Amino acid sequence: MANVWTISLGLAFAASFGTATAQSNLSLTNYTYSPSRTTVGSIRTVNLAGRFKLVGPNASLFKLDKNNQLSIRPDVAKASAPWYDLVFERKAGRSSIRDTFRIVKDEFVHNQVIAHRGAWKKLGTSENSLASLQNAIKLGCMGSEFDVHMSADSVLFVNHDAHIQGLAIEKTPSAELKKLKLSNGESLPTLEAYLTEGIKQNHTRLILEIKTSTLGKERSMALTERILRMVHRLKAQAWVDYIAFDYDVCKKVKELNPDATVTYLNGDKSPEQLAADHVDGLDYHFSVLKKNEGWISDAQQRKLTVNVWTVNDQDSLRWFLERHVNFITTNEPELLLGMIE
């Protein structure tokens, strides 16, 4: 998956720094660096012309050129710090436009393994729990997939199904959902809690599925906007990729954030269609790709990523490995890790 995570919402994302601060529509085309790749990315703006400057305690560690291209000092890139928070500013009359982004050292794993709902099955914990996320990180998975719904009062929760313990998440207040316990004793995690845990490290990416609302398209769009705002607020852009079954949700993510990585799940679009709509890749059920094997090479020729779900048996895992798909989502990450090693 492309190493790009940006937010560019036409909403009130401005951070307050004790001065008059205009609405922020800033994003970066990339949020990571490495000792061998000190160029980070460029600032993107919505209807905001002009140059920005870096301010704050970490400003001297980076350089922003006249084209708003950001880079990190080579000696700083070699340091052990996992990330730096960096403040961008542009004066606009009597107000200033500011936003803060977390620039992350790229130590992310580059294998093909995405743990489906985290690593939970072999270790006997709850799927989509913080423990399953921690297990996926410890195993060394490229990504840990998880699912997000919105409660009746618009709080975001992580759970696969639309219902949990007899309650419809979208029709239940958050106060009731927060009382629920998973089988491993954890509380039902909010998206905020899940992301907060996930960004404590910089090895495993967070593969966020935006669940299709059972209450209609408008609510799916509202869910999408709230998720992107949460990712922005927590400065988690460098960690998060997006997936969705609703094609309109995928396009909405790209509309709000053109540089976000988003892939489509439903299996009814050709690589040509995905490329035309600037979706970054396909993430289809294994039966779809076995039926349409030519889509794998077609997608790769178009520079789209190819992921396949949910592959759990050794023969099928081997079949997709032999065809060099980019990623495999599995309930058996230990098995797949053993095969690729």
User: What's the CATH number where 33 sits?
Assistant: 2.60.40
Alpha-carbon distance of 317 to 335, in angstroms, equals 9
Q: Which band of pLDDT confidence, cut at 50, 70 and 90, is reported for residue 46?
A: low
User: Domain boundary at 58, 86, 105, which?
Assistant: 105
Question: Three-class SS string for 93-123?
Answer: CCEEEEEEEEEEECCCCCCCEEECCCCCCCC
Per-residue model confidence (pLDDT) at position 97: 85
Residues 128, 117 contacting (CB under 8 angstroms): yes
Residues 92 and 118 in one domain: no
Residues 172 and 254 in one domain: yes
Q: Is residue 21 part of a domain?
A: no
Strand duo 156-158 + 205-210: pairing: unpaired
User: Domain boundary at 55, 71, 105, which?
Assistant: 105
- The string of pLDDT tens digits covering residues 4-29 is 323 222 323 333 323 333 345 788 99
Q: Is residue 151 part of a domain?
A: yes
Alpha-carbon distance of 141 to 323, in angstroms, equals 20
DSSP state of 240: E
Residues 196 and 255 in one domain: yes
Q: Is residue 3 part of a domain?
A: no
Q: Which band of pLDDT confidence, cut at 50, 70 and 90, is reported for residue 225?
A: very high
Q: In this structure, which amino acid lies at residue 257?
A: N
Which range of residues forms the domain containing residue 33?
27-105
Q: Is residue 326 part of a domain?
A: yes
Residues 329 and 224 in one domain: yes
In this prediction, residues 297-305 reach a mean pLDDT of 98
Nearest to 154 by CA among 129, 177, 173: 173
Domain count, the chain: 2
Q: Is residue 8 part of a domain?
A: no
Residues 92 and 154 in one domain: no
Q: Is residue 72 part of a domain?
A: yes
- The string of pLDDT tens digits covering residues 254-300 is 999 999 999 999 999 999 999 999 999 999 999 999 999 999 999 99
Per-residue model confidence (pLDDT) at position 23: 40
Q: Is residue 236 part of a domain?
A: yes
Per-residue model confidence (pLDDT) at position 44: 86
* CATH code assigned at 209: 3.20.20.190
Per-residue model confidence (pLDDT) at position 9: 29
Per-residue model confidence (pLDDT) at position 49: 63
User: Domain boundary at 81, 105, 129, which?
Assistant: 105
In this prediction, residues 156-166 reach a mean pLDDT of 98
Residues 73 and 178 in one domain: no
Mean pLDDT of the chain: 92
Residues 265 and 331 in one domain: yes
- The string of pLDDT tens digits covering residues 47-68 is 666 789 999 999 999 999 999 9
List the end-to-end C-alpha distance of the chain, in Å, as a whole number: 20
Residues 272 and 327 in one domain: yes
Per-residue model confidence (pLDDT) at position 13: 32
> Among 49-58, 149-158, 189-198, which is the least confidently predicted range?
49-58
Residue 152 CB burial class (10 angstroms; 0-12, 13-18, ≥19):
middle
Angle, CA of 34, 90 and 65, to the nearest 5°: 40
Confidence check: pLDDT of 218 > 90: yes
Residues 287 and 213 in one domain: yes
Residues 218 and 320 in one domain: yes
Residues 292 and 196 in one domain: yes
pTM of the model: 0.92
**CA distance to 130, 154, 167, 234, 307, per residue, from 174 (Å):** 18, 8, 11, 20, 33
Question: What is the four-CA torsion angle of 35, 326, 220, 274, rounded to 10 degrees?
Answer: 110
Residues 77 and 168 in one domain: no
